[in-house]
Amino acid sequence: MTTTAAAPPIEETRPEITRSRPQGIAVLPTLVLLLGALYCLFPVAWVVIASTKSPGELFRTFTFAPGVSIFDNVVDLSTYQGGIYWRWTVNTALYAGVGGLASAFLSGITGYAFAKFRFPGRAFLFNVLLAGVLVPSIILAIPQYLLLAKMGLTNTYWAVLLPSIVSPYGMYLARIYAAAAIPDSLIEAARTDGASEWRIFTAVALPVMRPGLVTVFLFQFVAIWNNFLLPFIMLSDDRKFPVTVGLYTLLNRGNTVPALYTLVITGSLLSIIPLVALFLTLQRYWRIDLVSGAVRA
Amino acid sequence: MTTAVDRVGRPVRRTTSRAVPYAFLAPAIVLFTVFLLLPIGYAAYLSFRRVQVKGLGLGPGSRIEVFAGLANYRAALGDGELWRGALRVLGYGAILLPTMLGLALLFALLLDLHRSRLRRFSRISIFLPYAVPSVIASLLWGFLYLPAVSPGQYLLRAAGFSEIDLMTSRTIYVALVNIAVWGGVGFNMLVIYTALRAIPHELYESARLDGCSEFQVAWRIKIPLVMPALILTTVFSAIATLQVFSEPTTLRPLTNSLSTTWTPLMKVYRDAFVRNDLYSAAATTMVLAVFTLIVSLGFLRLVQSRAFGQENQ
């Protein structure tokens, strides 16, 4: 078999390599990758099919036999407790969207200060920050609850939003990115032009840091969207729940009202659609190399 | 006012106010203090307190908080359920980490092979579950484990075999590991794959010329070179494993194999919010925090030695 167009040019200019390395499709690696892909798509395929089944069909018909009740299920879900499901999705978008944006901005300004200024206490403050990366946020959740309860902030939107804004890991990534992406000469030039420090940050540094900050935003967006314990302990009013906590309470009630299972499944499907879409559109802005330490801005 | 600017030559340094970096850091310092340091301090304080009841415990002033010494810690460490929970989490992690990271490394190496096909499709599909919150992932798999829903069980029944219960007190480990692998393998794969792509091709082109097989290239050259990324993903995954909470909590309504204290964190939750014993929950939290901190100290050493070379003059 001849080399396909997808092969990198380096192989075409060196025909002698082909002697020891037969070209063509590597069947086994391709199969293994395909198996991995199918494994990962399997529950997604199931939830798509399961949400087309009526509550009666869910536990009766074959797993992958589709039903025709998707429309009824969505209507049932939308009318359940006056459409509370949609309130949950709006809450989730609010928590993850606003929290992610605030977190990215905070990480940006903090990372910039650490990367581009020399000042007394810099090493100490950064070490404290790094220690914060190590303290798992989930272990903080209960102390945070106790403290916010003292401040009378539990069961408010703030209880979930405020703790989500602080991301030591995001600040750490932003520092790496700022150090690699912003040349000192750029800042010096802006200073000699008489720009204020705040203006240098917003007009010079921020645009350069944008790819890194998009990554921080995406990480934090996913982390907040994923976080279950924090809203679970902070909120008691189900009108403030994010979708994860809401679906969990529905599942719990499903023990006594099995018809709710269909709502849980339909709700799961509807809640992952926007996130998957977001991932597929934003994945080229997602700088994984920041994590693996191979950043070359 | 004269500005001594020489744009072509050396720019004249204007002294920037010393307060500038601190002003930039102020919001982070305030939020960090309020939402990290204070809660930890408050939990530490509570862990040394207890409630003393006077008389019948009725009316104001009959319940007062007093210093408890190490009593809460003695109680927390003396509770066998905490240790059993810790053992369960360690067992879960011992299956999860090698499986997930082994698969992530395998997929990353295969993606890096130019002769593999459908690489883009596979990469995106394997990464996709990262977009699914762990509660929803547990929910989907939880249903798929039920005998009435699982296609595997359906086939077993059709072939005349008995069903396999995927959620007994033993198989629940596999059930939980599967959920975590499903959600985490793609992200770790991408981190390792990105590190692989950063390796200059010349490094293994000559090995290939010398007749090394792809397996030898992977084993002798690629894996040693992506070791930092592997260590990093291992540490992050280990930290995440120690805090496992949402998966077992979500599966609980579907099985009897998971107690309310299945993991240490679940026990903390129960003590604090079901039993309203904040003091013992605070002591257990402190124990867990210290333990996690010790485990992840390696991470601190790892990241400090790298990544900041380019900014120090």
Residue B129 counted as domain residue: yes
Residue B178 counted as domain residue: yes
Residue of A nearest to B242 (CA): A136
Residue of A nearest to B104 (CA): A36
Considering the domain architecture, whether residues B154 and B298 belong to the same structural domain is answered as yes
pLDDT digits (tens, 9 = 90+) for A74-127: 888 888 888 899 999 999 999 999 999 999 999 999 999 999 999 999 999 998
The answer to whether B127 contacts A279, with C-beta atoms less than 8 Å apart, is: yes
The answer, yes or no, to whether residue A258 has pLDDT greater than 90, is no
- Confirm if A68 and A52 have CB atoms less than 8 A apart: yes
Q: State the pLDDT at residue A160.
A: 93
Q: Which of B128, B303, B308 sits opposite A276 (nearest CB)?
A: B128
Residue B132 counted as domain residue: yes
Q: State the pLDDT at residue B2.
A: 39
Tokens representing A192 are: 């000699």
A200 vs B290, which has greater pLDDT? Answer: A200
The answer to whether B209 contacts A17, with C-beta atoms less than 8 Å apart, is: yes
A vs B: CB pairs below 8 A: 321
Count of residues for chain B? Answer: 313
A11 vs A118, which has greater pLDDT? Answer: A118
Considering the domain architecture, whether residues B181 and B46 belong to the same structural domain is answered as no
* A residues 212-241 closer than 8 Å to B (CB): 222, 225-226, 228-229, 233
Q: Which residues of B touch A276 (CB under 8 A)?
A: 128, 131-132
The answer to whether B144 contacts A62, with C-beta atoms less than 8 Å apart, is: no
Question: Percent of chain A beyond pLDDT 70?
Answer: 88
Containing domain of residue B24, as a range? 19-67
- Confirm if A144 and A164 have CB atoms less than 8 A apart: no
Of B11, B37, B67, the residue at which a domain comes to its end is B67
pLDDT digits (tens, 9 = 90+) for A19-33: 444 567 788 999 999
The answer, yes or no, to whether residue A228 has pLDDT greater than 80, is yes
The answer to whether B35 contacts A163, with C-beta atoms less than 8 Å apart, is: yes
* A residues 149-188 closer than 8 Å to B (CB): 150, 162-163, 165-166, 168, 171-172, 176, 179-180, 188
Q: What is the C-alpha to C-alpha distance for residues B21 and A175, in angstroms, rounded to an integer? A: 13
Residue B313 counted as domain residue: no
Q: State the pLDDT at residue B303.
A: 58
Is the minimum CB–CB distance between A65 and chain B shorter than 8 Å? no
The answer to whether A37 contacts B125, with C-beta atoms less than 8 Å apart, is: yes
Considering the domain architecture, whether residues B60 and B147 belong to the same structural domain is answered as no
Sole residue written with tokens 């699914």? B132
Q: State the pLDDT at residue B8.
A: 46
The distance of B200 to chain A (nearest Cα, Å) reads 12
Considering the domain architecture, whether residues B52 and B112 belong to the same structural domain is answered as no
The answer to whether A135 contacts B292, with C-beta atoms less than 8 Å apart, is: yes
Residue B183 counted as domain residue: yes
Q: State the pLDDT at residue A13.
A: 41
Q: Which of B7, B25, B139 sits opposite A113 (nearest CB)?
A: B25
Residue of B nearest to A28 (CA): B116
The answer to whether B182 contacts A191, with C-beta atoms less than 8 Å apart, is: no
Q: Which residues of A touch B129 (CB under 8 A)?
A: 40, 43-44
Query: Tens-digit pLDDT profile for chain B (313 aa)?
Result: 334 444 444 444 445 678 899 999 999 999 999 988 888 888 889 899 888 777 666 666 677 888 888 889 998 888 899 999 999 999 999 999 999 999 999 999 999 988 888 888 999 999 999 889 999 999 999 988 888 777 777 777 778 777 777 888 888 999 999 999 999 999 999 989 988 888 888 888 888 888 888 888 888 888 988 888 888 888 888 888 888 899 999 999 888 889 999 999 899 889 888 888 888 888 998 888 888 777 777 665 665 565 444 444 3
Q: What is the C-alpha to C-alpha distance for residues A32 and A17, in angstroms, rounded to an integer? A: 25
Considering the domain architecture, whether residues B56 and B138 belong to the same structural domain is answered as no
Of B67, B85, B103, the residue at which a domain comes to its end is B67
The answer to whether B125 contacts A40, with C-beta atoms less than 8 Å apart, is: yes
Residue of A nearest to B311 (CA): A179
Q: Where are the alpha helices (DSSP H) in chain A?
A: 9-12, 17-20, 27-50, 55-58, 70-79, 84-116, 122-134, 137-150, 157-165, 168-181, 184-192, 197-199, 206-226, 229-234, 243-253, 259-282, 289-292
Considering the domain architecture, whether residues B57 and B181 belong to the same structural domain is answered as no
Give the dihedral sign, CA A171/A174/A178/A180: positive
Residue B163 counted as domain residue: yes
Q: What is the pTM of this model?
A: 0.84
Q: State the pLDDT at residue A53.
A: 86
The distance of B203 to chain A (nearest Cα, Å) reads 13
Considering the domain architecture, whether residues B203 and B60 belong to the same structural domain is answered as no
Considering the domain architecture, whether residues B256 and B143 belong to the same structural domain is answered as yes
Q: Which of B124, B254, B285 sits opposite A142 (nearest CB)?
A: B285
Domains in chain A: boundaries: 79-292
Q: Which residues of B touch A146 (CB under 8 A)?
A: 39, 42-43, 46, 278, 282
**Angle, CA of A233, A237 and A240, to the nearest 5°:** 85
Alpha-carbon distances of A273 from A161, A276, B28, B144, B234, rounded to whole Å? 23, 5, 33, 20, 30
Considering the domain architecture, whether residues B82 and B57 belong to the same structural domain is answered as no
Tokens representing A147 are: 């403290």
Residue B65, classed as helix, strand or coil, is strand
Tokens representing A159 are: 């209880």
The answer to whether A20 contacts B208, with C-beta atoms less than 8 Å apart, is: yes
State the CATH class of domain A79-292. mainly alpha
> What confidence category does residue A43 fall into, taking pLDDT thresholds of 50, 70 and 90?
very high
Report the mean per-residue pLDDT for chain A: 84
Residue A257, classed as helix, strand or coil, is coil
* Residue from B301, B234, B22 nearest A130 by CA: B301
Q: State the pLDDT at residue B206.
A: 83
Considering the domain architecture, whether residues B55 and B141 belong to the same structural domain is answered as no
Average pLDDT over residues A159-163: 92
> What confidence category does residue A270 fall into, taking pLDDT thresholds of 50, 70 and 90?
very high
The distance of A208 to chain B (nearest Cα, Å) reads 16
Contacts (Cβ under 8 Å, ≥6 apart) of A280: B124
Q: What is the C-alpha to C-alpha distance for residues B134 and A243, in angstroms, rounded to an integer? A: 12
Considering the domain architecture, whether residues B208 and B244 belong to the same structural domain is answered as yes
For residue A55, the Cα-to-chain-centroid distance in whole angstroms is: 32
Number of domains in chain B: 2
Q: Which residues of A touch B133 (CB under 8 A)?
A: 225-226, 228, 244, 271
Least-confidence region, from A102-111, A136-145, A250-259, B102-111: A136-145
